[in-house]
Structure 1
Amino acid sequence: MSADTSSGAPARLPLHRALLRLVPFAKKDLPRIALGGLSALGASVVALLIPTALEWIVGGPIASGMTSAVVWGALAVLGLGLLEAVMVYLRRWLVLAPATAIEYNVRASFYNRLQKLPIEFHDRWQGGQLLSRMMQDIGLIRRWMAFGFIMLVVNCLTVVIGSVLLFQWHWLLGAIFVVSGIPLWIQGYRFHNAYSLLTRRSQDQQGDLATSVEESVHGIRVLKAFGRGPHALSRFTTQAEGLRGTEMRKAREIAVVDFVLVLMPELAFAACLATGIWLTADGQVEISQLFAFFAMATILRWPIESIGFLFSFMLDARTATDRIFEVFDAVDTITDPVSPVSIERPRGALAFENAHFRYQDAREHERDLLDGIDLALEPGETMALVGLTGSGKTTLTTLPTRLYDVTAGRVSLDGVDVREMSLVELRTHIATAFEDATLFSASVRENVLLGRDDLDLFSEEADRVMREALAVAQADFVEELPDGAATMIGEEGMSLSGGQRQRLALARAVAARPKVLVMDDPLSALDVNTEERVQTELKRVLAGTTALVVAHRPSTVALADRVALLENGRIAAVGTHHELMATSPSYRSVISSFEADEREAERVRRDPNPTSELDILAGTVHADDADEEGAR
């Protein structure tokens, strides 16, 4: 999704309330940040004392010709300058550690939130949008808290204090300087309204751009195979141009406010200079006072000119905060019950009882994708689930572990509704092996033992469990890898073949030693002989484990104890393979389609150079690849 259109964010909070949402993450670090702010304010106050010292030097020693006293005055100014430098150093030292600690707290909480949010959330959000929030937006908040927030407050206070001090030399000079600031407030109000919209658009576009890069990198093989690199570049260029246009508009807005922030002090200087000369000639102001006034006004120039940059920085931080809290505020629909039920000795009886499910984006008039599933698996039984493409088989496999929750009815384990169990315990008892074998940038050992946090990764027991799981999955290729089980797998395991990835993913599920194993056609990339060996080993090692297997091959179906036919959102028939072949025309039709697909795939394997586009598709696209999309 693009966050600016589909995030479902609530109405924008006022600026101060939006930024105050960061306080819980910064609570324990606020004292040091406050001390850093006081140090910065102290540095500004010391700087404002320098014009008073200069007034004394010009009006006293210089006017009277006492050169020895000038030295003392110069030393006093030097001392004030050194004190200011120390205060600036203290400010940096005090705020650096707290700001990075806050960044860590926000980032860790954000990642934890992403892990807890349900799959339906991740279905709606683009990975690049989440990545840009995780890295760019949180980093921006850290820089703002370490510098922008403190300096905006301090510089505003400096301008107020300095403007008040200007009145000590002559009220008219002070009034001219203060009145010249009114256009700054008017321009600031206009800038806030325009820049707030632009900075939100810019940060959302950066997220979209990150998504395009992520998709292109992950899909680089497809882009190269189909020669679509130029198309991807054109799409990326269009998005980049859109971002560039937004950044240019932001730059123009900043340029306008900076122009006003620089122009008005210059006009004020000119007006004060003309008025000061007249007042001096009239005897109302001494030269030393006029000199001190302009020294003070000069010191105030940077705080005034910096307000535009710091204010835009604050608006960027506010937008980043909004974007981060859109994720924090997302509703987590799959949570632990208040009083979880625990199963001490699970038997593995899995049952779907009048289970209904529909995706959140389904139209009202559409029937449920799963429209009253009734299916019971006995402990230790292997049941194959078959059905035509789009029947909802893959969706059904997501319900036992609560990747999605049923919209009606229930799924139970040993008679206990899975929603009454804690997610940790539930996913300890039930493991899933997906057709799309996702591996992580880690060693083979770490990938296989991902579900065994109860084991020391390098213990003898862990080594035994890993090797047994690899043997079951027929993953003997691991021994031939450069570093064996210690070999690092590249991103998403793309350095391995499809069959190798599937076998490691299956080994991961086996190593978890669940009471129920749900497999969404996890062996589709294996040849028939290897699949049969894997099935035999699974029955041996996981004896007593209940298995629900989505099948797209007649050979897989034949190895199951029973078979369930999913048709029109319901279980149309249940029985052994031979019973259903004898009694169910629909089942025979499904099996016939499997056999036809298998014959076509074998024909293409024998002919490595298909001549037609239809042949290419028949050899590379399996019905199971489209199962989820068809279901939706």
Structure 2
Amino acid sequence: MSNLWRLREYLRPYAGRMAAMLVLAVFASLAALATPRMIQAVIDGPVTRADDDGLWWLAAAILALGVAEAFLVWLRRYIQATVALGVEADMRRDIYAHVQKLHAGFHDRFQTGQLLSRATGDLGRIRRFAAWGMIFLVINVFTYVAVIAQLLQIYWPLGLVVAASAVPLFFLSRSFARGYIRASRAEQDQAGEVANTAEETAQGIRVVKAFGRSRHVIERFEGEAAKLRDISVGKVRMLSKSWSMFDAIPNLVLAAVLIGGSIAVAAGAMTIGELVAFVTLQLMLVWPIEALGWIIANGNEAMTAADRIFDVLDTEPAIVDRPGATDLDRADAKGHLRFEGVRFGYEGTGKEILTGLDLDVRPGETLAIAGVTGCGKTTLLSLAPRLYDVTEGRVTIDGRDVRDLTLSSLRRNVATAFEDPTLFSMSVRENLTLGREDATEADIEEALQVAQAEFVYDLPWGLDTRIGEQGLSLSGGQRQRLALARAVIVKPAVLILDDPLSALDVHTEELVERALASVLKGTTALVAVHRPSTVALADRVALLQDGTIVAVGTHSELLESTPAYRAVLSAEADTVGAAA
């Protein structure tokens, strides 16, 4: 219940509207509660005395009460909807903003489908609780207490019978709530698995089709969907069983009231008007009691949804600005990059990838990192922009620990182009200026020339052409060139290149390397070498082996002095040749 109680943080800004909503609900309930007593007055007064004039006045009063109740209910529900939708929008905004702050390690282990499920389905459950469940609980409790009070006033022996029905309802609801909360959590977790399976398949649709595995992924999805169906059917079975009991109890009590009331009328203890008012009031309890099952179910679903959402919101960002962190001004940045005694291992693996690594990249120098596949080149490159933080040691820019710099200024000065480029469902221009919104047309043109990405001008709407999801409407080489242009346009102090030319043909790669060479003259660059041709970009080469740098020198020096370097280049050349 604690996480559901924490929703008050999001309800607080709507306190005024919620107060108005409760006031409207109370007055609407009072109008509804007054109607049975008006009916009693009609039967025991004008009907009994055959007073037509009095009948019309009372009928007009009943009509006025009905109209007033309808208006109050409409206004209350409108306010309810605005509050619920506002809470949902606020929570969705906070979840999205918080996810952006979480470090890359969180996203490495947390399934995207589970995040989507929390940001959609779980928020929908909380919205329904905020819109209907919470207010109906208050209204129904008020209605129940007010009706019982009137029943006791009209004829207390039967009033006690109706009040006593609350005892079995209490034990029934408690038993139902215990089982339903477990079923709700299981259903919501499985809904996340279904969303994750669908999301993975949609992203990898080309691979699925290329390998002819459509039947396999369909069966996998059907299996997850079948689990969700079975869990949901079990939950519905539990709900329907309890709901039937919530229905049966008030109907049994109503039968007892009709029998007891008839006897009381025959004995002169009640008038016919009082019996009609009593039964009408009791019928007003049928909906609150029937709705009790729905309210409990809705509350339990909201509770588990809140638990799942706060699982994410309570995850502390591992990479944040240190207290006293300062900005790194681009005009002052020289780009002197150093790795000092760096050790690093991914969360949960218990294995170190980098083991006491030292490396010095001089300002304006282009240094290539060579090593066998899986030796940690990409990991090393991820430490400079703080996609991950070192386990031990430190990474510095111009002598300042990157952890002492604000993240925003660090990432303005350190730009990265990845081997596997990510493009977004937005225009070419928006993708290119993602890291520098104030880029001019001249900046864009220069970056496109460097990356040999002028093909964008031939797209249907040029720079304003929208790229499909993940940029799959473009070839692998085109995506890489756009990603490289996006990094170049920032004009950073340090440029990280994780083999961004791997998908290019030899001719295009040569053109890009020539253009990059001129751009990199004033920029410090760290380049992961996954194939020998990329070495041409580098002033020096560092060989990464067993988690540390074992040799640094020019390409020629390492070829001559370091057998391990020759072996790495030979292996990479063989891999490229086999791929070709």
Alignment partner, residue 333 of structure 2: 346
Matched with 1:477 is 455
Q: Given residue 561 of structure 1, which amino acid in structure 2 is its aligned partner?
A: D
| CA–CA separation in structure 1 for the residues paired with 2:43 and 2:537 | 102
> Which of 259, 264, 283 is 2:249 aligned to?
264
Residues 593-604 of structure 1: pairs in structure 2 closer than 5 A: 593-602=571-580
Q: How many equivalent residue pairs? A: 578
C-alpha contact 1:152 1:311 (8 A) present in aligned 2? no
Which one-letter code corresponds to 1:498 in the other structure?
G
Please show how residues 479-558 of structure 1 align to structure 2 within 5 Å: 479-558=457-536
5 Å-filtered alignment, 1:130-529, equals 130-344=115-329, 345-363=332-350, 366=351, 368-453=352-437, 455=438, 462-529=440-507
Counterpart CA distance in 2 for 1:325 and 1:599 is 50
Equivalent residue for 2:540?
Answer: 562
* Deviation of the 1:139 alpha carbon: 2.5
What do the CA deviations read for 1:406-449 (whole angstroms, capped 9, x no partner)?
Answer: 00000010110000010000001101110011000011111011
Matches within 5 A, 1:12-91: 15=1, 17-91=2-76
Cα deviation digits, residues 79-122 of structure 1 (max 9, x gap) = 11111111101102322323222222111111100100111111
Q: SS of the counterpart of 2:212?
A: coil
Find the residue that maps to 2:412 and give its secondary structure: helix
Q: Is the 8 A contact 2:328 2:410 kept in 1?
A: no
- The alpha carbon displacement at 1:264 in A equals 0.4
Q: Is the 8 A contact 1:387 1:565 kept in 2?
A: yes
Q: Aligned partner of 1:287: which letter?
A: I
8 Å CA contact 2:128–2:298 kept in 1: the answer is no
Q: Secondary structure at the match of 2:129?
A: helix
CA distance in 2, matches of 1:216, 1:33: 43
2:328–2:406 contact (8 Å) kept in structure 1 = no
| Mapped partners of 1:87, 1:164: distance in 2 | 23
Once residues 39 and 124 of structure 1 are traced to their aligned partners in structure 2, the CA distance between those partners, rounded to angstroms, is 48
Q: In the alignment, is the contact (CA less than 8 A) between 2:365 and 2:521 conserved in 1?
A: no
Q: Which runs of 5+ in 1 are unaligned?
A: 1-14, 456-460, 603-632
C-alpha deviation, 1:41, in angstroms? 2.3
Secondary structure in structure 1 of the residue aligned to 2:299: helix
| Structure 1 residue 286 displacement after superposition | 1.6
Task: Look up the equivalent residue of 2:494 and give its one-letter code.
Answer: V
Tell me the SS of whatever aligns to 1:542.
helix
Q: Could you tell me how far apart the structure 2 residues matched to 1:205 and 1:601 are?
A: 40
Query: What amino acid is the match of 1:512?
Result: V
CA distance in 2, matches of 1:581, 1:228: 45
Provide the TM-score with structure 2 as the length reference: 0.98
Q: Amino acid of the residue matched to residue 357 of structure 1? A: F
SS at match of 2:342: strand
**Percentage of identical aligned residues:** 46
Residue 574 (structure 1) aligns with: 552
Q: Residue 585 of structure 1 aligns with which residue?
A: 563
Deviations 1:243-263 (A, max 9, x none): 001111111111122111110
| 1:470-507 per-position Cα deviation (integer Å, ceiling 9, x unaligned) | 10000121121111111110000000000000000000
Matched, 1:122 2:107: yes
- Residues 9-65 of structure 1 show CA distances to partners (whole Å, capped at 9, x for unaligned) of xxxxxx2x3222112222121210221122122211210111111111111111111
SS in 2 for 1:337: coil
CA contact (8 A) 1:181 1:264 kept: no
Counterpart CA distance in 2 for 1:505 and 1:439 is 7
Compare 35-44 and 372-381 and name the one that shifted more.
35-44
Q: Secondary structure at the match of 1:362?
A: coil
Name the SS for the 1:432 alignment partner: strand
Q: Please give the secondary structure, in 2, of the residue aligned with 1:572.
A: strand
Runs of 4+ in structure 1 over 3 Å off:
none
CA contact 2:338–2:396 (8 Å) conserved in 1: yes
Deviation, 1:559, is 3.1
Q: What is the correspondence of 1:621-632 to structure 2 with a 5 Å cutoff?
A: none
Post-superposition offset of 1:549: 0.4
Partner Cα separation in structure 2 for residue 471 and residue 305 of structure 1: 70
Partners of 1:40 and 1:151 within 8 A in 2? no
In the alignment, residue 428 of structure 2 is paired with which amino acid?
A: V
SS in structure 1 at match of 2:321: coil
- Equivalent pair of 2:542/2:551 in contact (CA under 8 Å): yes
Task: Name the SS for the 1:217 alignment partner.
Answer: helix
